[in-house]
Structure 1
Amino acid sequence: MRTTLSPAFTGSKMRHMMPFMTEISQNIITYLKENVKGNEDVDINDLIRRYTNDVIASAGFGIVVNSVKDKDNEFFKLGEGIFKFTGLQRIAFFIATVWPNLYKKLGIPLFPESTTNFFRNLVSTTIDYREKNNVERPDMIQLLMEATKGNLKHKSNENEKDNVGFATVDEGLKPQSVNRKWTFDELTGQVFIFFAAGFESSGSTLVMAIHELSINPHIQEKLYQEVKEFKEKNNALSYDNIGDLKYLDCVLNETMRKWSAAMIMDRTCTKAYELPPPREGGKTFKLKPGDIVYNMVNSIHMDEKYWPEPEKFDPDRFSDENKHNIKPFTFMPFGMGPRNCIGSRFAILELKVLLFDLISNYKVVKSEKTLIPIVLEPSEVNIKPKGGSFVRLEKRV
């Protein structure tokens, strides 16, 4: 399934999805200009998740939503509800992660029936309409339709090392001929995963990036100068020139290092290996094939052995002069190996488009409600500032 889907997330496909992102980003800026005053606090957490929701709705499913205007639309309420786990859902999520076979036998629903029914209906009606009316749109449902028919192929000249950003990952599973019949639930499951990952992970990263810029004005000013110079040289932001924003890439990389949305990578051991003692006087540990290994990404990203002053927000770690010093497997916001995040290009584009427009139009200023230093919400499974993230937005002249 992974091999079949890989061509859906290559640079050539992302090029066609980027216009959806720019359109929705402009919706956010228009809303801010019409509704937000410079002396009022803005709930960044809410604003950003409305942006990521609308991007996924459009680029994923061909549904046009403007969540800053239609605040209670079904798509947004669904996304918010997915990650508000009840006590039973938390237990089910833990069992599903640690003992997947037991979870299947128990048959405990991880998500409400209304959620699964929504996605089943969405996928079936969209596919049925497009097939009957011969409609094509460069979004994720279209790509999945092509994948199930075996029409989604890697181009021989597809350059995986494109210019989207330093953190993009190569496809670990090489393209091959796959003749596989997908069930409707498998197809729906891919749509759901795409929605869940795009809504929450990207949203968390954007919130933390904006929060960091508000409490590090010198970094924000350096970013603004780059954006300003870029706009003087280019007519508009596009897939072909987005890689020219070097410092923007640094800011996002440092955000993903310090506040990695993917906190854990789980992998299955395929070869016996003896882990060395974790400290002097400690014991070795033998891994056997079939063992599940949980790799704590944040622990590596915050290890001063690899990242001096890890608590400091320093985008220059990822500058052209410094990034060659980054040791392999110490920066893994999208994972590593054959099971890395298939949507890294999509995520980075989504993050950069909104930050570019926001910094172009507004100076992000800390307020009395801005949390300094940032403390995370302890009861959440995702990265969120405790009590929310609030800043003030001052219009640039």
Structure 2
Amino acid sequence: MWPIIFPTIPLVDYIKKAYNIHPDAKYIGFFDFGCPVTVIKDQELIKSITVKHFDSFVNHRGFVDPAEEPFFGNNLFSLHDEKWRAMRNLLSPAFTSSKMKGMFKLMSDCAARYADYFVEQSQKKPLEINSKETFTRYTNDVIATCAFGIEVDSMRHPKNDFYIFGRKGTNFDGLRSLKFFMVRSFPRFTKLLNIKIIDDDVEVFFTQIVKDTIAMRDEKGIVRPDMIQLMMETRKNEESGSLNIQEMTAQAFIFFLGGFDTTSTLMCFAAQEVACHPDIQSKLQAEIDEVFEKYNDNPPYEAIQNLAYLDAVLAEALRMYPVAGFLDRVCNREFQLPPALPGKKSVTLKPGDNIWVPVYPMNRDPKIHPNPDVFDPDRFISNGKTPTSAITSLTFGLGPRMCIGNRFALLETKTLFAHILRKCWLKPAKRAIVPIQISNSTIAMTAKGGFWLDIQPRDKYPA
């Protein structure tokens, strides 16, 4: 049981301790606050469960009653069985490569604006940034324009409502971290106390945003290639039925949650490691400079997507600091596991049994990744390219239940890094803890002491 109320170690280190109890076992068992969990350690068995036998492990563990908290309980992550399949099929077209290409210009404009802001401010005086706050402002602006059709500049207008309510709805530090944990682990108890994950004012704000966006598009005949538009199109499909405002808002918010908080966390860890390794930063800038110079400082979607070393840097950041320390599934039909160790008996999982995939421990396992605590992007380079599986493996999930927004998250991250590193140097600020240590103050993956960078303009950057 992770001592979350009085945490002494980070959650991921607690999972890692359990993972290492029987190093050679294909799986182990432990209790998650009274709930028995089978932790699958064998890579082939993980693939079998999440891909080949996906129909036996379709759902995540449910902990929010959609009837009690529809804003959170009706989103794609929380939905089960056929409701999940229907929603997944509905939303998937919003995240194809062609849709990402259509959104790229919006992302690139946001990223260029942030890079210009850093140069402008750092030329006036030494610039130290709180990376988490800064990068969430960027992800906020990207989601606002790509998903909602709303243009905001959260660096120059820091108190805009979209950012304020977004930050409030996705902040799981301190007491909110405890509240999330209580709802997840003791749902009946928190239901009696009417404890909710998302505050009412946040729900009201996002619901109104969705209502206003739909009304404006209907009135003016606006059509955009985004999630809101796809959900609006369901109104034309009489067979499958249309989504109501509540369901639309739930999907829009989980998209916001994933893009706002988890993506900014990836940016923070990656930027901090790049700042701490000048050789890696120089190599990255050389790759970026070549592309920007080739395309007169306006690289297209394909050029950003083909930045192989940047891919490797992000793959390594995702390996060392996976946003989710573990993946979960619930067994929905009997499934026989092979013996955990030679000479032992097989185990049959029953419907309702919980399994975890220990992402963080596996990513730090020296038998899988030699020198696992060393930030080394070159481990992911093969013939000058970074395999796609290296970027998406484990961290974004596996199989049909893989994170639907992983392409979006990676593209907005790559776009920001390309623009910033084209014009700026990143250096660890004096208050930053180097090397990075994982914080034990929250269930979310974050750095002890926070993320702090000094931003310096490069001697050579486009005017």
1:274 maps to a residue whose letter is L
Contact (CA 8 Å) 1:61, 1:141: kept in 2 or not? Answer: yes
What is the distance in 2 between the residues matched to 1:356 and 1:18? 13
State the Cα distance separating 1:125 from its structure 2 match: 1.4
Q: 2:305 is matched by which residue type in structure 1?
A: G
Match of 1:302 in 2: 364
Mapped contact 1:374–1:385 kept (Cα < 8 A): yes
Asked if structure 2 preserves the Cα contact closer than 8 Å seen for 1:316 and 1:322, the reply is no
Measured in 2, the distance between the counterparts of 1:341 and 1:325 equals: 18
Q: Is residue 2:443 matched to residue 1:356?
A: no
Q: Which moved more, 1:211-220 or 1:227-236?
A: 227-236
Partner of residue 211 from structure 1, selected from 252, 265, 272: 272
Deviation at 1:281, TM superposition (A): 10
Distance in 2, Cα, partners of 1:104 & 1:186: 21
What is aligned with 1:190? 251
Contact kept in structure 2, 1:204 and 1:382, CA below 8 Å = no
1:82 and 2:169 matched = yes
Displacement of 1:144 in angstroms is 2.2
5 Å matches for 1:216-227? Answer: 216-227=277-288
Cα 1:93/1:373, change in 2 over 3 Å: same
**Is contact 1:93–1:110 with CA below 8 Å preserved after alignment?**
yes
- Shift, 1:264, TM fit: 2.3
- 2:92 counterpart of 1:6: yes
Q: 2:104 aligns with which of 18, 38, 41?
A: 18
Aligned equivalents of 1:18, 1:330: Cα separation in 2: 20
State how far apart, in whole Å, the 2-side matches of 1:329 and 1:256 are: 7
Moved more, 53-62 or 227-236: 227-236
Identify the residue that residue 131 of structure 1 maps to in structure 2. 218
Alpha-carbon displacement from aligned partner over 1:311-341 (angstroms, at most 9, x marks no partner): 1111111112498999999931210011110
Equivalent runs, 1:199-348 vs 2, <5 Å: 199-235=260-296, 236-270=298-332, 271-274=334-337, 276-277=339-340, 286-321=348-383, 331-348=393-410
Q: Distance in 2 between matches of 1:42 and 1:91?
A: 27
Determine the C-alpha separation between the residues in 2 that align with 1:320 and 1:265.
Answer: 27
What CA distance in whole angstroms lies between the structure 1 residues aligned with 2:391 and 2:352? Answer: 22
Residue in 2 that maps onto 1:143: 230
Q: Deviations over 1:173-220 (max 9, x none)?
A: xxxxx7233232111100110111100011000011110001111111
Aligned residues: 370
CA distance, structure 1, for counterparts of residue 388 and residue 162 of structure 2: 40
Give the distance between the partners of 2:389 and 2:443, measured in 1 at CA: 28
Could you tell me how far apart the structure 1 residues matched to 2:228 and 2:221 are? 14
Q: Deviations over 1:262-304 (max 9, x none)?
A: 2221112244223643x79998754223312122211111111
- Aligned in 2, Cα 1:85/1:212: closer, same or farther, shift over 3 Å? closer
Query: RMSD of the alignment, in Å?
Result: 2.9
User: Within 1, Cα distance between the matches of 2:455 and 2:173?
Assistant: 34
Secondary structure, counterpart of 1:342 in structure 2: coil
- Asked if 2 retains the 8 angstrom alpha-carbon contact of 1:306 and 1:330, the reply is no
Confirm or deny that 1:51 pairs with 2:113: no
Compute the displacement of 1:360 (Å): 0.5
DSSP 3-state at the match of 2:301: coil
SS in 2 for 1:128: helix
Unaligned runs of 5+ in 1: 152-177
**Whole-Å separation in 1 of the counterparts to 2:433 and 2:425:** 18
Given that residues 300 and 330 in structure 1 are in contact (C-alpha distance below 8 angstroms), is that contact kept between their aligned partners in structure 2? no
Identity %: 36
User: 1:2 Cα deviation (Å)?
Assistant: 0.9
Partner of 1:154: none
Is the Cα–Cα contact under 8 Å of residues 317 and 323 in structure 1 kept in the other structure?
Answer: no
**Aligned equivalent of 2:7:** none
Deviations 1:80-128 (A, max 9, x none): 2123348775455335435668877875322111001011111111101
Rounded to whole Å, the distance in 2 between the matches of 1:324 and 1:239 is: 17
In the alignment, structure 2 segments of 5+ residues that lack a partner are 1-86
Counterpart code for 2:158: K
1:245 CA displacement: 0.9
**Which shifted more, 203-212 or 4-13?**
4-13
Cα 1:184–1:354, aligned 2, differ >3 Å: closer, same or farther?
Answer: same
Q: Report the TM-score when normalising by structure 2.
A: 0.73
- The CA distance in 2 between the partners of 1:375 and 1:229, in whole Å, is 34
Q: Is the 8 A contact 2:338 2:346 kept in 1?
A: yes
Provide the rounded CA distance (Å) in 1 between the counterparts of 2:402 and 2:235. Answer: 22
Shift of 1:130: 0.9
SS in 2 for 1:364: strand
Distance 2:184 2:322 in 1: 19
2: CA distance between counterparts of 1:89 and 1:106? 15
Q: What TM-score, normalized to structure 1?
A: 0.85
Contact residue 228 and residue 248 of structure 2 kept, 8 A: no
TM-superposition CA deviations, 1:330-376 (whole Å, max 9, x none): 93121001111001111111000000011100111233223211012
Structure 2 residue aligned with 1:31: 117
Q: Match of 1:41, SS?
A: strand
Q: How far does residue 9 in structure 1 lie from its aligned partner after superposition?
A: 0.8
| Residues in 2 aligned to 1:326 and 1:203: alpha-carbon distance in whole angstroms | 21
